[in-house]
A and B are shown apart, each in its own frame.
Chain A
Amino acid sequence: MTVTEEPQMEIGRDRRRKEDQRLITGRTRWTDNITLPGMLHLAMVRSPFAHAKIVNINVDEAKAAPNVVTVVTGKDLGEEQGSLPNAWPITPDQVTPPHPPVAIDRATFAGEIVAVVVARSAAEARDAAELVDVDYEELPAALDLKESAEDKVLAHPDLGTNKSALWVFDSADAGTGGNVEEAIAKAREDGIVLEREYRQQRLIPAFMEPRSTVVDPTGEQITMWSATQIPHILRFLLAAVLGVSEAKVRVIAPDVGGGFGGKLQTTPEEFITMVLARRLGKPVKYTETRSESMMAAHHGRDQWQKLTLAAEKDGTVTGFKVELLADLGSHVSLVGGGVPVLGAFMFNAIYKFPAYHFAVQTVLTNKAWTDAYRGAGRPEATFGIERMMTELAAELGVDPLEVREKNWIKHEEFPFTTVAGLEYDSGNYEAATALAKEHFGYDELRAEQKARRESKDPIQLGIGVSTFTEMCGLAPSRVLGSLDYGAGGWEHATVRMLATGKVEVVTGASAHGQGHETAFSQIVADRLGVAFEDVEVLHGDTMVAPKGLDTYGSRSLVVGGEALVRAADKVIEKAKPIAAHLLEASVDDIEFSAGRFGVRGTDQGLAMAEVALATFAAHNLPDGVEPSLDCDATYDPVNFNYPHGTHLCAMEVDTETGAVKMRKYTCVDDIGNVINPLIVAGQVHGGLVQGIAQALWEEAVYDDSGTLVSASFVDYLVPTAADTISFDVDHTTTPSLTNTLGTKGVGEAGTIASTPAVVNAVVDAIRQFGVNDVRMPCTPERVWKAINDGGGGDKTTEAAAPHFDDSGDTAIADGAPE
Chain B
Amino acid sequence: MTRIEVTVDGAKVSDDVEPRMLLVQYLREKLGKTGTVIGCDTSNCGACTVHLDGRSVKSCNVLAVQADGHEVTTIEGLATNGELHPMQAAFHECHALQCGFCTPGMIMQSIDLLNDNPKPDEKQIREGIEGNLCRCTGYHNIVRAVQTASGQEVGK
Interface residues in chain A, defined as those with a beta carbon under 8 Å from any beta carbon in chain B: 16-17, 19-28, 30, 32-33, 123, 206-210, 255-258, 260, 289-291, 512-515, 678-679, 681-683, 685-690, 712-714, 718, 720-722, 724, 726-728, 750
Contact = CB atoms under 8 A, between A and B. Distances in A.
B139 A689 contact: yes
| 6 A-B pairs with least C-beta separation | A26-B35, A257-B101, A23-B100, A513-B99, A713-B44, A689-B138
B75 interface: yes
Given A209-B101, A290-B40, A686-B98, A726 B130 contact: no
A208 B99 contact: yes
Interface in B54-105: 74-76, 78-79, 84, 88, 91-93, 95, 97-104
Contact of A23 (B47, B74, B103, B130): B103
Contact of B141 (A28, A685, A688): A685
B101 A20 contact: no
Given A25-B76, A258-B136, A727-B138, A712 B98 contact: no
A226 to B, nearest CB: 15
B122 interface: yes
B40 A682 contact: no
Nearest to A683: B98
Nearest to A227: B101
A214 to B, nearest CB: 13
Given A25-B79, A30-B34, A722-B127, A257 B100 contact: yes
Contacts of B130: 720-722
Interface residues of B, number: 56
A788 B44 CA distance: 34
Most buried by B among A22, A26, A257, A686: A26
B45 to A, nearest CB: 6
30 contacts: A16-B92, A16-B93, A16-B95, A17-B92, A17-B95, A22-B100, A24-B84, A24-B91, A26-B35, A33-B34, A207-B99, A208-B47, A257-B99, A258-B101, A258-B136, A290-B39, A513-B136, A678-B95, A679-B95, A681-B141, A682-B95, A682-B137, A685-B137, A685-B141, A713-B45, A718-B133, A720-B133, A721-B139, A726-B155, A727-B138
Nearest to B90: A24
A21 B47 contact: no
A662 to B, nearest CB: 12
B interface SS class: loop
Contacts of A686: 98, 135-138
Interface in B119-145: 122, 125-127, 129-143
A448 B92 CA distance: 39
Interface of B: 18, 28, 33-42, 44-45, 47, 74-76, 78-79, 84, 88, 91-93, 95, 97-104, 107, 122, 125-127, 129-143, 155-156
Contacts of B75: 24-26
B91 A290 contact: no
Nearest to A20: B92
A20 B35 contact: no
Contacts of B134: 208, 721
Given A123-B18, A515-B98, A682-B98, 5 more contacts: A27-B35, A33-B28, A290-B45, A687-B138, A713-B45
A288 B84 CA distance: 32
Contacts of A714: 42, 44
